[in-house]
A and B are shown apart, each in its own frame.
Chain A
């Protein structure tokens, strides 16, 4: 054991029903280092973290924490917190019906008298310092997913910790927030805090990390100093493939821009959450909505699907007047919608992978027309294969899958309905690099080969530039520009977002 280590894990084993999630994994975190934990979806990153923080009990292995005599036995997140380990979990674990201030301080008061007034003041300070657009007294559920993520980070950072764990903290953040988080991380690092950082964004890894540990299929691949492991090699280590196999992944399909028949057309459509806007999409077209956090991009597509209360507007589907006031109307009209917040709006956690995959199709077939078990199994099998979903079986509850694999299940659900118009809000959130490219390829293939119209939203602008032939730019809940053709460059997008000339 090195003496500058704050945390040492040796030979960690964890078995879930049907899955060996961790197999003799070693991990060392040193003082004042940012240590990236990398691996494909389902590699075991979150499990390693949950074992460390006492969410799951380990089946074998030992953990040492600086300042604790002998082996540390951590049985609950509260104990981990008391040992100076602060954690932001992959799925937000705050309480949606408490206020921001309550969420910041709950479980940290250690039996003292509780002075909520002081906490609110302190919260307001933190929110202002970090530039988080929320109020201390606001109920957390009324904040966007990104703000919730920022609050979770602020809460962890505000604790006096020696180990900070961030499991995909940037998955719904914009460049600006990510930059802010990074400067926060560097600051903590200079104070000697060890940071574990999990992400699927390779550039982010190389921007802040000092060291990388790679996991694959629950096994340790190795630990590397950042300068010894170029990006291509990292990807190869994560996927366990040779570099040559990867070459063709970079080639994704051709974008199609030829305007054809209009599939969906909306005039002054509005919902309780979005201002009126006009929008149309052509057959086989891939377009995108972009804009900063809170710009209203997600709210706009929710209005199209009838996810929020629709308050006005005229909609035409393939030229025919259509009334869409609730999700079921949209589904019948041939629209599919993969929501941004998979935990709240997407997965039915206790139901099996199979039931989650067939759900939307089954609903479209109708209450009185259940599919046979054999049909369901065939569909589920097909998509588990196509999207390479890592699950012990079809009967596994979807909630026990890794984050990225849950995302794939919801994607499968909507692909299975073969909609004419598919809305994907952050379909690649939490998905590993290899699969991300596969999904982008799939989107372009659906558009060109099946003539599907697709709206693709992503907080990664490069990803949208690669797939979309038209970008709608939003600011303050208004559409402020539309970019096509050779306007589709990062610089132009940034300029339009910032409010330059159109």
Chain B
């Protein structure tokens, strides 16, 4: 019975997702017991007159959007390079500045200027990520060290670009992108996550990106001897991360309808790395599950929202978050996993022995 269950988990590939799923379920149950109204979803009319869904769950999913998108890209970089990019927040601020700079060149935001701004935003993020990628893939610098450069100077670059502290944006297009599209009651950023997810899923379906990335991450030398170009695969992972960062930056800018080079996507790098880890991905590279990282992002956001809902003071939230995250990460560690399997084996062996002994009697 137990054997059947574990092989089912393996087959469906759910084995790796066991921990994040369990964590999510426990968090949901905890909230259900604590306060069932936590889950209530109401239709409300927002300040621009649209009727929208509102409630804690919607807020969680909505607020986690930028994190979820970056976590997807971070998963790829982690898998291919065996390290993490800590400059995602800073590069997001740079890309966001270009986005705002373009939009600000005209009086009002129009569809045309928006498309141009989106393209420029994506290109900027990709270009800066290529810089990181080149340091990592070509010059073989540890990802954390390589991305430390933009991590520390990225936000200054963002400030030079905009030239003022917090340029403001307004208009229906910004509202539609940052909040909701009139007639659709679900916040737009959620659709952005779905879109990025679909694009990545398509890439995995139509190319060998998954096989190549995992091969490079596990054994780069062997991958090369099988005709894979590790440098190109690592660079590609940074390009894709760049696109994710651009999307996250636009979500952040449109939601606030302003750009603050200091606070846009601030501290998101640590949460993104955590999301990847909670998702059961090996931070040393190799096998990966994007779905795990997305769940990791929602777990982190749900945790934050739960703590605030419990009126935990802002200064303490980080500490509580850390405790829960340690538990999740340790529960998914190889040591604990091995311990659990060897315990179940022993129990099974013991059962067999006793039943055999009974048979003899």
Contact = CB atoms under 8 A, between A and B. Distances in A.
A339 B228 contact: no
Nearest to B286: A350
A367 B236 CA distance: 12
A326 B215 CA distance: 17
Interface stretch (A170-178, A263-271, A354-362): A354-362
A327 B224 contact: yes
A349 B219 contact: yes
A261 B341 CA distance: 57
A18 B218 CA distance: 23
A395 B10 contact: yes
A15 B349 contact: yes
Interface stretch (A184-192, A200-208, A340-348): A340-348
B34 interface: no
Contacts of B108: none
B171 interface: no
Nearest to A57: B342
B222 A346 contact: yes
A327 B215 CA distance: 15
B238 interface: no
B18 interface: no
A339 B218 contact: no
Contact of A331 (B219, B221, B227): B227
Nearest to B6: A17
A427 B107 CA distance: 71
Interface stretch (B113-121, B150-158, B203-211): B203-211
Interface string A413-455: 1000000000000000000000000000000000000000000
A381 B79 CA distance: 28
Contacts, number: 93
A348 B219 contact: yes
B260 interface: no
Contacts of A337: 225
A60 B229 CA distance: 46
Contact of A327 (B7, B227, B346): B227
Given A327-B227, A360-B227, A367 B207 contact: yes
B223 interface: yes
A349 B282 CA distance: 14
Given A57-B342, A59-B346, A350-B287, A328 B229 contact: yes
B215 A348 contact: yes
Nearest to B215: A348
Given A350-B287, A362-B208, A327 B11 contact: no
B214 interface: yes
Contact of A348 (B11, B208, B222, B345): B222
Nearest to B214: A351
A369 B215 CA distance: 17
Contacts of B224: 326-327
Interface string B1-34: 0000011001100000000000000000000000
A339 B222 CA distance: 9
B226 interface: yes
A347 B219 contact: yes
Contacts of A305: 225
A76 to B, nearest CB: 12
B221 A345 contact: yes
A15 B345 contact: yes
Given A17-B341, A345-B221, A359 B215 contact: yes
A327 B225 CA distance: 6
A249 interface: no
B98 interface: no
A360 B208 contact: no
In this complex, the member of A331, A346, A347, A370 whose beta carbon has the largest number of chain B beta carbons within 10 angstroms is A370
A457 to B, nearest CB: 16
B128 interface: no
A40 interface: no
A328 to B, nearest CB: 4
A345 B224 CA distance: 9
A60 B11 CA distance: 28
B99 interface: no
A350 B214 contact: yes
B14 to A, nearest CB: 13
Nearest to A396: B10
A307 B214 contact: no
B212 interface: yes
A370 B219 contact: no
Contact of B206 (A351, A355, A364, A370): A370
Interface in B217-264: 218-219, 221-229
Contacts of A369: 208
B349 A13 contact: yes
B227 A364 contact: yes
Nearest to A368: B207
A196 B189 CA distance: 64
B125 to A, nearest CB: 23
Interface in A310-328: 326-328
Contacts of A367: 207-209, 212
Contacts of B11: 395
Nearest to B220: A348
A367 B229 CA distance: 11
A15 B341 CA distance: 10
B208 A59 contact: no
Nearest to A329: B227
B222 A345 contact: yes
A362 B348 CA distance: 40
A362 B222 CA distance: 15
A441 B346 CA distance: 43
A363 interface: yes
A18 B6 CA distance: 10
Contact of A368 (B206, B229, B348): B206
Contacts of B209: 367
Contact of B215 (A18, A331, A351): A351
A344 to B, nearest CB: 6
Contacts of A346: 222, 225
A17 B282 CA distance: 20
Contacts of A350: 214, 218, 282, 286-287
Contacts of A370: 205-208, 211
Contacts of B342: 57, 59
Contacts of B226: 327, 331, 359-360, 363, 413
Interface in A296-316: 305, 307
A386 B359 CA distance: 41
B225 A339 contact: yes
B291 to A, nearest CB: 18
Nearest to A395: B10
20 contacts: A13-B349, A15-B348, A17-B6, A17-B10, A59-B346, A60-B349, A305-B225, A327-B225, A327-B227, A331-B227, A344-B221, A345-B225, A348-B214, A348-B222, A350-B218, A355-B215, A359-B211, A359-B226, A360-B226, A370-B205
Interface of B: 6-7, 10-11, 205-209, 211-212, 214-215, 218-219, 221-229, 282, 286-287, 341-342, 345-346, 348-349, 353
Interface of A: 13, 15, 17-18, 57, 59-60, 305, 307, 326-328, 331, 337, 339, 344-351, 355, 359-360, 362-364, 366-370, 395, 413
Given A344-B221, A350-B287, A359-B215, 10 more contacts: A15-B345, A17-B341, A326-B224, A327-B225, A348-B219, A349-B218, A351-B287, A355-B214, A367-B209, A370-B211
The 4 A-B pairs with the shortest beta carbon distances in the complex, nearest first, are: A328-B227, A363-B227, A350-B218, A331-B227
